[in-house]
Structure 1
């Protein structure tokens, strides 16, 4: 009986000890879990820090090379400090064209120094004083094309940044110190944790065997902790070497910050260094508001001037043969009016040949009879037996018969000559020696290349009117070239549910071809206000919207959404989205849209 209270007391003491060890072990495990979580967070922060660095570099792309900029009404300047030299890029403030042949003088801490021209619009000056970190104030005097501009430039040279430790190194060091710490408490904590979990279950079972097993497990864990401590003591030096080796690794290089690399900024703008602008040939213009005549875009094609062109056709069917010159005219050959281009020999049927031979026989018989009569009259006329008038009539009859006989032979042998109706160039021709040409077949087409027309189709009867004096219509070719047109008239009869409208091409180039398709921008009598820009200024964004690029700074461009309307073959009308007085890219906008 006294043993039971002692056993119960012993079980209660063991349970309290197990609970205390469990609590201590839980705290230790929480610490280790927190350290592991901190390690993973440190690695994640290290990776995120690398990305943020790239984005920061994009937002400030000029940080790798200190630079400054200044501008006046006529001159735009960008100064770049690199490798102990100062490079000055000079451009026209309105057109962004490089200023060549300018005289540049810079006020430096060593006094005024001239800059030497190195390439188109770039000037270089040795500047060893720019190697010192800090703020540098410069005064640049530019003389170009009779214009003198004094431009103050500020350049901030940052101090060299210290080598930063790898991201998350502090968390790794903390974790390594925890790994090198005395493992006895950790092992003891693990033992207490096991006892805390298994103790209550074993104590519910009555008997000393359960209690003895519980105490044996705890003792084994405590002894294992000592062995783990001795093993970790031998590995301490190796861990220290690993830490030193890790610290000796160089920090990963940041993202490339090449100042001569165009890139798109996080805010959507485009950073384009001046050297890259020279390569892309970026040009700008200042927008000005004006009043323009509204234009209507119509499909059209090139046609010959009906007053300066013609076709060569055969009036009778026959076989084609070369002209007396010996060869058919080639395409593009210039011919004169009346030149023989080909011959057509009409075919003769068998029935016609029989009739012609019979007629020839009759004529030959009549000619022989009349010839003998003329011969007899000629003998009798001197004696007065035959009147002279009878002799003359016989001779006239003989001449007529001979002419009819010759004409009958000519029908069989003489071909028809095909001549050029106008002066011009052979635009089309399908003549082949021996080819049979039907009556009305076009053998050649003659066109004057200096006198061409454009025929457009208007699907609105009142959309195109005779423009006012000074308002010329234009046409745009597929390759971007433009033509100036003069209105000639529009038809009253519809053609394919459209009204034909004809224009004459003013100063037609030699490269135009008959039938070539064009887009006609016909000027109407309506007027509208807006900003006129070249068609190359407007590009299509990824979302399908029309945008133009504004030159907001010397090396920065921003896309502006706009609403456009057709104006003429080379310009568009900005009807909304842009204010006057802005510098807009007129050449190279498509290249800016490709920068990523």
Structure 2
């Protein structure tokens, strides 16, 4: 009986504690919410020469100065600020800005600033204002935001556990006292007193809040964090703080409308200059053999007249028979000429013969011997293959012991500094002025127009261009795109190709630098202009700052 009484009392105690803390699965203590990051108090100013951003961070006034047109950082300058507390000289910082500590950074109010910038021969005065709200002053610094968030969460958990500990501790003490009274004393009155003590301990926990109206205690604490973070704003523009712009190396240029020559795109491939290249071929078939030192490797520079290989022509059976017959005939003629010379020498000594006859016999003998030596040499000596021009070995098919046919190409020699492009035009071009080419990886090549053919090849006319710049990054047979400008002109705004960004919906956009730390996307329509630029015909007005470097990085901000 006593054991069942203790179990029932424990159950009543646990139920009272649980009812005092929650009901119907409701969690009355949600964790603290961390608010979105907001930018530090800041102000902007711009002139024809400079653009600056002033901000307060950790009790320090920080000013970033850039060139207005190009957004290039200005790091070598003298900066003075007229503040409500007097004139303040700013010192250069490691991040490229200028800063100095200020005492009024902790006072919530509006601060009007007059900033004087002296950079070289340019002196400019800009005005701006900083609105320091009370919450910005009370907010923790950026460098300690993570630690402050952890502290706020710890305080919230502690505040939530204090009522729970206050309820459990008395209930636990009452339960222990009741159990001791019940077990130690057997009298009925004492057991009743112990049971009553356990019930009082269970009911001593704080009562639950009324469910009507859902009064779940104090509001959820909100932890605010201050910081300069790049983010995409609800209106579609992108906020990029000046320190982030320095890291991303954002550069801009002023847009201007002008007249430009119309440009056509032509597919082309790289070919060698016919006046600076050549083939090495064999005049007769035979077996190829390497010269002393081996065959030249690909990319080896050779000079005109260098021996690159040898070709030993094979001799057929009938050829060998004819050669042996000629050798025998020459050997007999040489023997007869030698005996005739001996007879003429004897006659010349005795006076019966003349010296002229002896000299003629000696000349005849020398001729026969030369013919015999030439026949032997023709049988043994192979044909040398020499370089027709100076250049580098662009292609080689030479293998020791290989049998080649007559007119087979063994080596191709090309001058890498003299390459051409052969483009195909499917329309009659009235006249070609300047031309450039663009490779698949975006490299630009300078071209010089050489001429166009009159014969149609695959319904197209061949147009030749000489590569004047960038020939070291292309190879023979590589396909490129030629951008040839014609004599007729069109109007538009020229911008670099690096400014174009492909949006998620497939449209082409650019970014306009609308203010010091805000960039606006613009959809544009364009046509190619040359290897490095395009011509915007719609979506952009003159006199706006267009991002020319770092547009893809800005587009990644979310």
> TM-score normalised by the shorter chain: which range applies?
0.7 to 0.9
Q: Does 1:585 align with 2:547?
A: yes
Q: How does 1:498-513 map to 2 (within 5 A)?
A: 498-513=460-475
Query: Does the 8 Å CA contact 1:312/1:418 hold for their aligned counterparts?
Result: yes
The aligned residue for residue 490 of structure 1 is 452
Query: Does the 8 Å CA contact 1:316/1:438 hold for their aligned counterparts?
Result: yes
The aligned residue for residue 102 of structure 1 is 77
The aligned residue for residue 7 of structure 2 is none
SS in 2 for 1:381: helix
SS in 2 for 1:487: strand
Q: Does 1:569 align with 2:544?
A: no
Residues 476-524 of structure 1 show CA distances to partners (whole Å, capped at 9, x for unaligned) of 1222221111100111222222211110111344333222221110111
The aligned residue for residue 317 of structure 2 is 350
The aligned residue for residue 65 of structure 2 is 90
Query: Does the 8 Å CA contact 1:451/1:508 hold for their aligned counterparts?
Result: no
The aligned residue for residue 413 of structure 2 is 446
The aligned residue for residue 534 of structure 1 is 496
Query: Does the 8 Å CA contact 1:294/1:567 hold for their aligned counterparts?
Result: yes
Q: Does 1:263 align with 2:228?
A: no
Query: Does the 8 Å CA contact 1:99/1:120 hold for their aligned counterparts?
Result: no
Determine the C-alpha separation between the residues in 1 that align with 2:463 and 2:517: 48
Query: Does the 8 Å CA contact 1:340/1:417 hold for their aligned counterparts?
Result: yes
State the shift of 1:358 in Å: 2.2
Determine the C-alpha separation between the residues in 1 that align with 2:506 and 2:120: 43
Query: Does the 8 Å CA contact 2:419/2:466 hold for their aligned counterparts?
Result: yes
The aligned residue for residue 290 of structure 1 is 258
Query: Does the 8 Å CA contact 1:452/1:508 hold for their aligned counterparts?
Result: no
State the shift of 1:543 in Å: 1.9
Determine the C-alpha separation between the residues in 2 that align with 1:323 and 1:80: 76
State the shift of 1:120 in Å: 4.8
Determine the C-alpha separation between the residues in 2 that align with 1:466 and 1:389: 77
For structure 1, the 5+ residue unaligned runs are 1-39, 164-230
Determine the C-alpha separation between the residues in 2 that align with 1:249 and 1:508: 68
State the shift of 1:316 in Å: 1.4
Query: Does the 8 Å CA contact 2:52/2:63 hold for their aligned counterparts?
Result: yes
The aligned residue for residue 403 of structure 1 is 370
Q: Does 1:328 align with 2:290?
A: no
Determine the C-alpha separation between the residues in 1 that align with 2:318 and 2:440: 58
SS in 2 for 1:396: helix
Total equivalences in the alignment: 472
The aligned residue for residue 251 of structure 1 is 221
Q: Does 1:133 align with 2:112?
A: no
Query: Does the 8 Å CA contact 1:367/1:401 hold for their aligned counterparts?
Result: yes
Query: Does the 8 Å CA contact 1:466/1:487 hold for their aligned counterparts?
Result: no
Query: Does the 8 Å CA contact 2:84/2:112 hold for their aligned counterparts?
Result: no
Residues 224-251 of structure 1 show CA distances to partners (whole Å, capped at 9, x for unaligned) of xxxxxxx9xx699421599999535751
Normalising to structure 1: TM-score of the pair? 0.74
State the shift of 1:413 in Å: 1.1
SS in 1 for 2:134: coil
State the shift of 1:386 in Å: 3.4
Residues 56-88 of structure 1 show CA distances to partners (whole Å, capped at 9, x for unaligned) of x7xxx53xx111110111111001111101111
Q: Does 1:376 align with 2:351?
A: no
State the shift of 1:397 in Å: 2.5
Query: Does the 8 Å CA contact 1:295/1:567 hold for their aligned counterparts?
Result: yes
Q: How does 1:187-226 map to 2 (within 5 A)?
A: none
Residues 539-574 of structure 1 show CA distances to partners (whole Å, capped at 9, x for unaligned) of 122222221100001010001111100100000001
SS in 2 for 1:493: strand
Q: CA RMSD in A?
A: 3.2
Determine the C-alpha separation between the residues in 2 that align with 1:285 and 1:120: 23
Q: How does 1:156-171 map to 2 (within 5 A)?
A: 156-160=131-135
If each structure's helix is expressed as a fraction of its own residues, which one has the higher value? 1
The aligned residue for residue 238 of structure 1 is 207
SS in 1 for 2:365: helix
SS in 1 for 2:454: coil
If each structure's strand is expressed as a fraction of its own residues, which one has the higher value? 2
- Find the partner of 1:423 among 390, 410, 431: 390
Query: Does the 8 Å CA contact 1:534/1:572 hold for their aligned counterparts?
Result: yes
SS in 2 for 1:418: strand
The aligned residue for residue 275 of structure 2 is 307
Q: Does 1:390 align with 2:343?
A: no
Normalising to structure 2: TM-score of the pair? 0.78
Query: Does the 8 Å CA contact 1:380/1:386 hold for their aligned counterparts?
Result: yes
Determine the C-alpha separation between the residues in 2 that align with 1:434 and 1:299: 41
Residues 153-195 of structure 1 show CA distances to partners (whole Å, capped at 9, x for unaligned) of 11101122899xxxxxxxxxxxxxxxxxxxxxxxxxxxxxxxx
Residues 398-442 of structure 1 show CA distances to partners (whole Å, capped at 9, x for unaligned) of 222212211111111111111111121222223233222322122
- Find the partner of 2:129 among 148, 154, 165: 154
State the shift of 1:384 in Å: 4.1
The aligned residue for residue 4 of structure 1 is none
Determine the C-alpha separation between the residues in 2 that align with 1:123 and 1:592: 25
Query: Does the 8 Å CA contact 2:44/2:52 hold for their aligned counterparts?
Result: yes
- Find the partner of 1:461 among 427, 452, 457: 427
SS in 2 for 1:359: helix
Query: Does the 8 Å CA contact 2:95/2:243 hold for their aligned counterparts?
Result: no
Greater CA radius of gyration, 1 or 2? 1
Query: Does the 8 Å CA contact 2:447/2:469 hold for their aligned counterparts?
Result: no
Query: Does the 8 Å CA contact 1:450/1:508 hold for their aligned counterparts?
Result: no
Residues 310-344 of structure 1 show CA distances to partners (whole Å, capped at 9, x for unaligned) of 111111122222224x2222222222111222222
Query: Does the 8 Å CA contact 1:91/1:121 hold for their aligned counterparts?
Result: no
137-146 vs 342-351, which moves further: 342-351
Query: Does the 8 Å CA contact 1:450/1:507 hold for their aligned counterparts?
Result: no
Query: Does the 8 Å CA contact 1:550/1:584 hold for their aligned counterparts?
Result: yes
The aligned residue for residue 249 of structure 2 is 281
